[in-house]
Amino acid sequence: MSSNKNDFYQEYEVFSKRSDTAAMQHQFSLLAPNEELALVLAQENFMRREPVADIWVVRRSAVRKMNYAEKQSLPRIDNKEYRNTKGYGYLKKKWRQYEQEMLDEKEILSWGGKMKK
Amino acid sequence: MNELLSTEEKRAVIELLYQLADDDFIISYRGSEWLGLAPHIEEDVAFSSISQDTMGHAAMYYQLLEELGEKDRDYLSHARKSNERKNAVLLELVNGEGHYLHEPRYDWAFTVVRHYYYSQAKKVKIESLKQSSYPPLAAAAVKISMELHYHLMHWTVWFTQLLNAGGEAKKRMLKAIAKVEAEFEDVLSLGPLSKEIVKAQLIEEESRLLLSFHANINAVFNDLSIPYKGEFTSLSGRGRFGEHTEDLSEALNTLGEVYHSDPGAVW
Amino acid sequence: MVSKIINHSINKDEEKILSFMARIEAGEKIEADDWMPDEYRNVLIKLISMHGISEIMGALPEKEWVPKAPSLKRKLGIMAKVQDEMGHGQLLLRVTEDLIKPLGKTREDIMEDLFSGDLKFHNVFHMEAPTWGDAGLIGWLVDGAAIITQTNMLSASYGPYARALKRICAEEVFHAQHGEAIILALAEGTEAQKAMIQDSINRWWESLLMFFGPGDAKAVGTSKQDITAKYKIRSKSNEELRQDFFTKYVPRILSLGLTIPDLTMHFDDQKKEWIYRQPDWNRFKEIVRNKGPKSQERLRLRKLSYENNEWVRSALSSGSENEAG
């Protein structure tokens, strides 16, 4: 075996997004000798049949992953209605008393467009 | 559209389309022989996409020929004899020693250099073809240029990295560059009807194409600190004039083996 | 004192195994960096490295037909299909490489194990593919058999394998249709074309039966079926998979006016199972020991391409990059 055994095979994680507005998504990993080659190999290895708007390749060693014990820190109790609109559903009834519509998520997110007068 | 072409113009369009179609078809065929044999599994997958894209481009040109009254695209790609082919000789040469089924000792350096030079030449032609007076060809050029970006990026990375690696890799690459340049005149030639092709404003004249090509390649060689001679010959023949090598005859026998077993059948 | 420490560590290992099995039972996915029993790691390495290298070796019989495919459409289709086989090999080798990494091994070791004969590849890929009918049959029935075994493992307990299989199975749908398209064109074609498929079925039938492996350990001596079931890597047995294959494909084969080269083949309504003649399992053992008709030739192709391109990998190894130019 040559002295530089395995040097060619560096691990890269591949991320891509389907459109400009989509979020980056992890696809898979590949082996390549450097990031330039990793980048030109990424699309055809994992996104041959789907639209791609952007690709990132990240050296595996640059990723700080959670171990099994650390993943135990992720679950939480289902008692945080106060963080979500779910905890404020009663407002709809309240506003009705004042003959007003509730400003719910759908309504508020529509304000970016033309507002009905 | 065809009705608007004079007889001379139509002859010129057909001639140019055969060159474009046969070029893409035969280099894609050579690429397909590499399948499963590339230096790296991930590269095998990426290279195959390039070969598929390129055969797709050939199919588009053959389709345009079919619409101009030539035979169907499978006949054009599979049944025409060697002396009827208009591809550049460089693109028909074998990938290296051996056969794709038996003891293939394919030359990755030659493959990288041939594809890199070809992609650069194809880019120069495609940019010019976008302005072609024949609208179906201009429309095809716009589509093809989309995929050509990736091909060029891919081969540029291989080309520059293997040259930058120095040592044996650089030696092999320089040898491949000499081999490719010795055949390269053919690639940017417009063949026996070049005057008619240019007169019909189908594509720019050879000397203009060549200038653009030199400019693009020269910049890359400068970055690599390698002298660029840019002296091309047609060592093994002028494919645009129907001159071809034994390599093409063998390829045609293989690629047409099933087709010829019953040309009338639906496969 | 010493014995006390040993006892303690044994208990700790047992504890680990118990909590690992609890995760498996709960349907959790195991990830590459998680602790896992050696038995689990080893069975995964064996299974997935063989699966991966079979995809790589499996590209070769079909690849023979890539340059010869009889039309532009067929050339493109089979190129895309063989490319996918290489792509599946890539996915599965990556999964294997993460499993062997703690053992200090890499892709190079996988390749060397293949060349030395330590790593086996699937029986079907040792066989000859002398006609275009074989190109169609591989896509139709060999891929059909592969789809049956692979979908059976889509919910495998090992997360990276399950994710790779999800990608693979999505592409297998295209492969199945690619194979059917070739077969249907031949079936609706000339007498010679029809004869071509029948000839392919006759030659491939025994290999297709072997594809699922022996029904039990008695046939070939060993079987890892029990271990893969215990760890929820696969759910159905070899025989159940073979029966599923018959159910899906025998009626389709017959519907095209083709015959199956086994006169005993029929569905037993009472037993609710397909009755068929067993393939020669001794021959199966020989074939997977690289003594099939094309074993050595295809290994030679892979080895030659690996050695012939060694200079490329060595040139781009980080140690030699930007070396004197």
pLDDT tens digits for B45-80? 999 999 999 999 999 999 999 999 999 999 999 999
Inside any domain, residue C64: yes
Contacts of C112-119 with C-beta under 8 Å, sequence gap 24+, read C113/C49, C114/C53, C114/C57, C114/C299, C114/C302, C115/C299, C115/C302, C115/C303, C115/C306, C117/C289, C117/C290, C119/C49, C119/C50, C119/C53
Q: Which domain holds residue B18?
A: 2-261
Inside any domain, residue B193: yes
pLDDT tens digits for B81-136? 999 999 999 999 999 999 999 999 999 999 999 999 999 999 999 999 999 999 99
Angle between the N-to-C axes of helices C191-211 and C238-255, in degrees from 0 to 180, rounded to the nearest 10: 170
Inside any domain, residue B267: no
Domain count, chain B: 1
Inside any domain, residue C89: yes
Inside any domain, residue C29: no
The predicted structure's pLDDT at residue C240:
96
Q: Is the pLDDT of residue C219 over 90?
A: no
Domain count, chain C: 1
Q: Is the pLDDT of residue B259 over 60?
A: yes
Dihedral angle at the C-alpha atoms of C10, C16, C17, C21, nearest 10 degrees? 160
The predicted structure's pLDDT at residue C220:
64
Q: Is the pLDDT of residue C218 over 80?
A: no
Instruction: Please name the residue of chain C whose CA is at the shortest distance from the CA of residue B109.
Output: C312
Amino acid at C57: M
**Sign of the four-CA dihedral B235, B238, B239, B245:** negative
Inside any domain, residue C19: no
Inside any domain, residue B155: yes
Contacts C79 to B, Cβ<8 Å: 32, 35, 48, 51-52, 55
Contacts B257 to C, Cβ<8 Å: 68
Instruction: Please name the residue of chain A whose CA is at the shortest distance from the CA of residue C164.
Output: A28
| Closest to B57 measured CA to CA, from B94, B28, B88, B90 | B28
User: Can you read off the two tokens belonging to residue C122?
Assistant: 């699937």
Contacts B116 to A, Cβ<8 Å: none
**Interface with C, mutate which of A8, A11, A36 (most C CBs under 10 A):** A8
pLDDT tens digits for B176-212? 999 999 999 999 999 999 999 999 999 999 999 999 9
- What mean pLDDT is predicted for residues B14-34? 98
Amino acid at B175: K
Contacts C87 to A, Cβ<8 Å: 45, 48
DSSP B123-149: HHHHHHHTT-SSHHHHHHHHHHHHHHH
Instruction: Please name the residue of chain B whose CA is at the shortest distance from the CA of residue A29.
Output: B42
- CA-to-CA separations, C228 to C39, C163, C235, in angstroms, rounded: 10, 17, 8
- Which residue is it, tokens 């794709």? B100
Under the banding of pLDDT at 50, 70 and 90, the label for residue B18 is very high
At a CB cut-off of 8 Å and minimum separation 6, what does C126 contact? C287, C288, C290, C292, C293, C294, C295, C298
Q: How far is CA A7 from the centre of its chain?
A: 31
**Contact between chains at B46 and A41 (C-beta distance less than 8 A):** yes
User: Can you read off the two tokens belonging to residue B264?
Assistant: 């009338």
Rounded Cα gap, residues C40 and C5, in angstroms: 26
In degrees, rounded to 5, the angle at the alpha carbon of residue B40 between the alpha carbons of residues B47 and C40 is 125
- Structural domains in chain A, sorted by start: 10-62 (3.10.20), 80-110 (no CATH)
Q: What is the ipTM for the molecules in this complex?
A: 0.96
Chain C contact present for A31, CB below 8 A:
yes
Instruction: Please name the residue of chain A whose CA is at the shortest distance from the CA of residue B48.
Output: A44
Q: Is the pLDDT of residue A6 over 90?
A: no
**Contact between chains at A33 and C321 (C-beta distance less than 8 A):** yes
Nearest to C132 among B35, B40, B258 (CB): B258
| Closest to C298 measured CA to CA, from C5, C74, C54, C15 | C54
Inside any domain, residue C147: yes
Q: Is B23 helix (H, G, I), strand (E, B) or coil?
A: helix
Angle between the N-to-C axes of helices C143-151 and C159-187, in degrees from 0 to 180, rounded to the nearest 10: 150
Contacts A61 to C, Cβ<8 Å: none
| Closest to C89 measured CA to CA, from C53, C48, C143 | C53
**Interface with A, mutate which of C316, C321, C322, C323 (most A CBs under 10 A):** C316
CATH of the domain at B152: 1.20.1260.10
What is the rounded average pLDDT for all residues in chain C? 93
pLDDT tens digits for A27-70? 999 999 999 999 999 999 999 999 999 999 999 999 999 999 99
DSSP B38-99: SSSHHHHHHHHHHHHHHHHHHHHHHHHHHHTT---HHHHHHT--GGG--S-HHHHS-SEEEE
Phi, psi (deg, nearest 5) at residue A17: -130, 150
The predicted structure's pLDDT at residue B4:
77
The predicted structure's pLDDT at residue C12:
83
> Where are the strands (E) in C221-269, listed by range?
266-268
Inside any domain, residue C9: no
B35 touches C63 (CB < 8 A): yes
Contacts B162 to C, Cβ<8 Å: 312, 315-316
**Would you tell me which residues 74-103 of chain A have a C-beta closer than 8 angstroms to some C-beta of chain C?**
none
| Closest to C80 measured CA to CA, from C139, C128, C130 | C139
Interface of B to A at Cβ within 8 Å reads: 40-43, 45-46, 48-49, 150, 153-154, 157-158, 161
Inside any domain, residue C6: no
Q: Is B106 helix (H, G, I), strand (E, B) or coil?
A: strand
Q: For residue B104, what is the enclosing H or E element?
A: strand B102-106
Nearest to B157 among A37, A45, A48 (CB): A37
Contacts B42 to A, Cβ<8 Å: 30-32, 41, 45
The predicted structure's pLDDT at residue A2:
43
Q: Which domain holds residue C250?
A: 39-115+123-301
Chain C contact present for A61, CB below 8 A:
no
Q: How far is CA B196 from the centre of its chain?
A: 22
| B68 C-beta neighbours (distance < 10 Å), count | 16
DSSP A37-88: HHHHHHHHHH-TTS--SEEEEEEGGG-----HHHHTTS---S--GGGSGGGG
Inside any domain, residue B165: yes
Inside any domain, residue B266: no
CATH of the domain at C106: 1.20.1260.10
Total number of residues shown for chain C:
325
Subunits close to B (at least 3 CB pairs below 8 A): A, C
